[in-house]
């Protein structure tokens, strides 16, 4: 089989052709995949195979999952607690837990990670015993940037993934990933901090930013109503409406998807192609980062591998009626 450009989405599709799969293959103790339903294969998988592969589509088996996410998980966005950073009266900020309708207007950061050790973590915030080492972390400048921006925009609260998610808790991490799209969608403002861009370098450098190559930043671009771009010095470059042409050129995402058209106006196949060249640090995150794009939820199973993660994602897309 010949695949044209090696995108990670298509590696999943390549797996679909494996005729040696058993009728049911176990993913976890309570999650199974059954190759028994022809509908999804013809609606989603086969059109994608025709688009990206020269292999005969008839060789690809169908796909279905027996796992169904609880309905209450799909409907409880407003009931989920959210941890935010809050500017205080002393020129600093602290973490606060908020719930449901008690969540005030907030800004949210979109950025690319450096080394884990360079980012300010949940454990670092409030670590006054080692404050100097926290302040010295390269990632601290991003929190300072957000704190200044929200003050200038008349807000008090902001969210940064590195500091607001306790990644030591598997449950909290799973909840955060399943609801992250909605958190970005509900934000009053989204600040995109481009650490590898300086305004004076021009638009070509902007389009080459690492930010456009990462998996998680796709939903961070599409979900919020207001997305403002800033260079490494905090200079405003424009928002996703005023510079939509540059963003569309860099991402191949249609102008309408960046401005006023709902995502369901675009086919499953087209939305998947928006992610095909993007990369994630953990292989399963390629699938998990697309949950919000298709308005679906599923449990995270790190260690299952990207292929099984994509199988489950595609089933959830089918089950949701997309």
What is the C-alpha separation between 264 and 272, in angstroms, rounded? 12
Among left, alpha and beta (phi > 0; psi -120 to 50; other), residue 321 is left
Query: Residues with Cβ < 8 Å from 132, sequence gap 6 or more?
Result: none
Q: How many C-beta atoms lie closer than 10 Å to residue 315's C-beta?
A: 23
| 17 pLDDT more than 50 | no
- The model's confidence at residue 53, banded by pLDDT at 50, 70 and 90, is very low
| 185 pLDDT more than 60 | yes
Q: Which percentage of the chain shows pLDDT scores above 90? A: 64
- The model's confidence at residue 5, banded by pLDDT at 50, 70 and 90, is very low
User: Which residue's structure tokens are 């598997």?
Assistant: 170
| 90 pLDDT more than 80 | no
- Burial of 60 (C-beta count, 10 Å sphere; 0-12/13-18/19+): buried
| 288 pLDDT more than 60 | yes
- pLDDT value of residue 84: 96
Query: Residues with Cβ < 8 Å from 195, sequence gap 6 or more?
Result: 111, 112, 114, 142, 232
- pLDDT value of residue 129: 57
Q: What is the pLDDT of residues 229-244, one digit of tens each?
A: 999 999 999 999 999 9
Mean pLDDT, the chain, whole residue set = 80
Element (H, E) at 191: strand 189-193
Give residue limits of the domains in the chain.
Answer: 72-262, 280-321
Q: What is the pLDDT of residues 25-38, one digit of tens each?
A: 333 333 333 333 33
Mean pLDDT confidence for 280-305: 96
Parallel, antiparallel or unpaired: strands 31-34 and 64-65: antiparallel
Maximal CA-CA distance, the chain: 66
Name the more confident of 224 and 94. Answer: 224
Tell me which of 74-88, 104-118, 142-156, 179-193 is least confident: 74-88
Closest CA to 103 of 164, 162, 186, 40: 186
Q: What is the pLDDT of residues 107-144, one digit of tens each?
A: 999 999 999 899 999 999 877 657 888 889 999 999 99
Query: Residues with Cβ < 8 Å from 183, sequence gap 6 or more?
Result: 82, 108, 159
Distances in Å between the alpha carbon of 41 and those of 6, 102, 232, 315?
Answer: 21, 43, 45, 10
pTM (whole model) above 0.85? no
């Amino acid at each position: 089989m010949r695949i044209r450009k090696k995108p990670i989405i298509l590696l999943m599709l390549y797996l679909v052709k494996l005729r040696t799969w058993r009728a049911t293959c176990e993913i976890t103790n309570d999650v199974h995949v059954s190759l028994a339903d022809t509908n999804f294969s013809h609606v989603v998988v086969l059109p994608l195979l025709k688009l990206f592969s020269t292999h005969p589509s008839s060789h690809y088996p169908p796909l279905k999952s027996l796992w169904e996410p609880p309905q209450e998980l799909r409907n409880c966005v407003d009931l989920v607690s959210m941890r935010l950073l809050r500017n205080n009266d002393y020129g600093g900020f602290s973490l606060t837990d908020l719930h449901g309708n008690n969540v005030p207007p907030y800004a949210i950061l979109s950025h690319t990670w450096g080394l884990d050790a360079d980012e300010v973590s949940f454990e670092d915030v409030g670590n006054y015993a080692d404050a100097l080492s926290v302040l010295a972390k390269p990632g601290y400048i991003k929190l300072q940037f957000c704190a200044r921006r929200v003050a200038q925009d008349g807000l008090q609260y902001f969210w940064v993934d590195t500091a607001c998610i306790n990644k030591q808790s598997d449950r909290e991490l799973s909840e955060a990933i399943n609801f992250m799209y909605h958190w970005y969608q509900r934000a009053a403002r989204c600040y995109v901090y481009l650490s590898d861009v300086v305004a004076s370098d021009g638009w070509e450098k902007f389009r080459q930013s690492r930010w456009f190559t990462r998996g998680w930043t796709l939903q961070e671009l599409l979900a919020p109503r207001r997305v403002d771009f800033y260079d490494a010095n905090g200079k405003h470059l424009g928002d996703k409406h005023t510079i939509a042409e540059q963003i569309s050129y860099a991402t191949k995402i249609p102008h309408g998807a960046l401005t006023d058209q709902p995502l369901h106006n675009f086919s499953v196949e087209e939305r998947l192609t928006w992610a095909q060249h993007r990369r994630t640090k953990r292989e399963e995150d390629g699938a998990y980062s697309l949950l919000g794009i298709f308005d679906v939820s599923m449990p995270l199973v790190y260690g299952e591998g990207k292929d099984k993660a994509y199988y489950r994602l595609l089933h959830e897309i089918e089950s949701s009626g997309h």
